[in-house]
Amino acid sequence: MFKYFLGSSPKWYKMTMITFLVMNVVLYFGLPMVMDAHAAHSALSWLFIGEFIFTLAMALKCYPLQSGGLLAIQIVVLGLTSAKNAYNEVAQNLEVVLLLVFMVAGIYFMKPLLMFIFSKIFTKVKSKVILSLLFVFLSAILSAFLDALTVTAVLISVAVGFYGVYHKIHSSSIDHDHDGVLDRTQLSGDTLEQFRSFLRSLIMHGIVGTALGGVCTLVGEPQNLLIGERLGWDFVEFFLQMAPITIPVLICGMLTTVVLELTGTFGFGAKLPKIAEEIIISYTDEEDKKRSDREKYGLWVQGVSAILLITGLALHLAPVGMIGLALIIVQTAFMGIIEEHALGHSFEEALPFTGLLVVFFVVVAMIHDQHLFSPIIAWALSQDPASQPGLFYVANGVLSAISDNVFVATVYIGDVQQLFLNGDISREQFEKLAIAINTGTNLPSVATPNGQAAFLFLLTSSLAPLINLSYGKMVKMAFPYTIVLGGVGYIMVKLVLS
């Protein structure tokens, strides 16, 4: 049983998970003997959060769905939340679940077009600094009008496709650049590690860009829409209310990109190896020449689908997941992909993460049922009104980094709205706290992969092991951005809202 439990993960990891599962039961019955029941359940709930974050941190040792899922089952069995409340959390976030299932599958069929476009960008833009800025800026703009998870799915598709090209050349016995040396010899060892580092840094720039753009608009992140609805703000008013804080943060974020690339610190700065660039250019030129009429037609279908996708998302013609399903139908119908097994491959990337997200919602339901954040909210609201926006910003940032920014925003905006409806705070104070909650949940939460769904999606994607992107490496690479985004955001909150 021990041999097959959690498969090929290390023995120490298996022992740790068994220890967690046994210890949780012992503490569930033992803690009420030394403290009151409510305090015992709160302490055990915080322990479960720590254990769940551990399973995310070890994502490259064992996919978190199994180990985190066992903890989630135990949470329900021990009564720290109920299956019904966990289901309600999933129901409230159904749009995110549908987005993952259908939009990621829709992007899968668009991969040839994305590879065609980005291979040209990779090989034509010679400056790594400009390329990095391009990734940050495009990700920010797309996330502001579309959706951070959709943009992340595009980034992952591009990087996996680009790595696939490298791997295809690396494992062949062909000399694409005609220099008399087999390409696989030239692309091994240090060249491969440098290529991985190059892709890793670009993806991290892009993923931070989704946070920079997502905070700015009503549709950028799920909690933005929730906050906008509570305040009665439309798209333009939401942007204008957030702009005094979000625009300086965006500018400083892009300056951080330049500094990181020029200094080569925190895992950034790696350039596309020269020999790899030459071989990839030769390979893509050969691919362009031998592209069949069917493949060219496919690119046109994908191009038209991309325009329809952007139009549908920007105008919010339907929930994102439904637009994703329409994208699958249009592309496969017109490209003649009608076999069930051919459709099945497109869902392989997203469904494990969708399962993990549902497990995550069980943990979120536990946090809600045990009122773990209530003391922090009560303390912040007891402070001087002038200092409340800054305190709310910090509290939301810290809690978002350890749990989930959408959940934190939902809890905080709900409590603050109730205070406003009760007449305890003015409309002006309500707006200030709403801005602090939005920026607090969106900016400092880049510190950890569990803070934002887009980051967690990247960590658990098929790309992460290819480019050696672990939980610790993500935290390290996001650290300078966390300091700048969190710090500048806090300064602007204090200047603008106090």
Query: CA–CA distance from 207 to each of 136, 362, 478 (Å)?
Result: 8, 26, 10
Q: pLDDT digit string (tens) for 36-82?
A: 888 899 999 999 988 988 888 787 788 889 999 999 999 999 999 99
Backbone dihedral region for residue 79 (phi beyond 0: left; psi -120 to 50: alpha; all else: beta): left
* Dist. CA 443–CA 452, nearest whole Å: 10
In this predicted structure, the answer to whether residue 248 has a pLDDT above a threshold of 90 is yes
Q: pLDDT digit string (tens) for 144-190?
A: 876 677 788 888 888 887 888 777 776 666 655 555 554 555 566 77
Residue ranges of the alpha helices (H) in 93-216?
Answer: 94-98, 104-108, 111-124, 128-145, 148-170, 183-186, 190-214
CB atoms within 10 A of CB 6: 18
Q: Could you tell me which residues come within 8 angstroms of residue 226 by beta carbon, excluding any fewer than 6 positions away?
A: 406, 409, 410, 413
At residue 260, what are phi and psi to the nearest 5 degrees? -65, -40
Rounded (10°) CA dihedral 483, 449, 404, 447? -10
Q: Look up residue 1 and give its DSSP letter.
A: -
pLDDT value of position 170: 67
Which comes out higher in pLDDT, residue 82 or 410? 82
Question: Whole-number mean pLDDT of the chain?
Answer: 86
Answer yes or no: are the C-beta atoms of 212 and 444 closer than 8 Å: no
Which comes out higher in pLDDT, residue 205 or 114? 205
- Listed residue (126, 134, 199) closest to 160, CA to CA: 199
- Listed residue (471, 396, 383) closest to 439, CA to CA: 396
pLDDT band at 407 (very low <50, low <70, confident <90, very high): confident
pLDDT value of position 380: 82
pLDDT value of position 222: 74
In this predicted structure, the answer to whether residue 437 has a pLDDT above a threshold of 70 is yes
- Tell me the pTM: 0.81
| pLDDT > 90 in the chain, percent | 34
In this predicted structure, the answer to whether residue 432 has a pLDDT above a threshold of 70 is yes
In this predicted structure, the answer to whether residue 12 has a pLDDT above a threshold of 60 is yes
Q: What is the CA radius of gyration of the chain?
A: 24
pLDDT value of position 178: 54
Burial class (CB in 10 A: 0-12, 13-18, 19+), 19: exposed
In this predicted structure, the answer to whether residue 424 has a pLDDT above a threshold of 80 is yes
* Dist. CA 343–CA 422, nearest whole Å: 53
Query: What is the average per-residue pLDDT within 478-486?
Result: 94
pLDDT band at 86 (very low <50, low <70, confident <90, very high): very high
Query: What is the average per-residue pLDDT within 136-141?
Result: 89
Q: pLDDT digit string (tens) for 266-320?
A: 989 888 888 777 777 777 777 778 888 888 898 899 999 988 888 887 777 888 7
Q: pLDDT digit string (tens) for 263-277?
A: 999 989 888 888 777
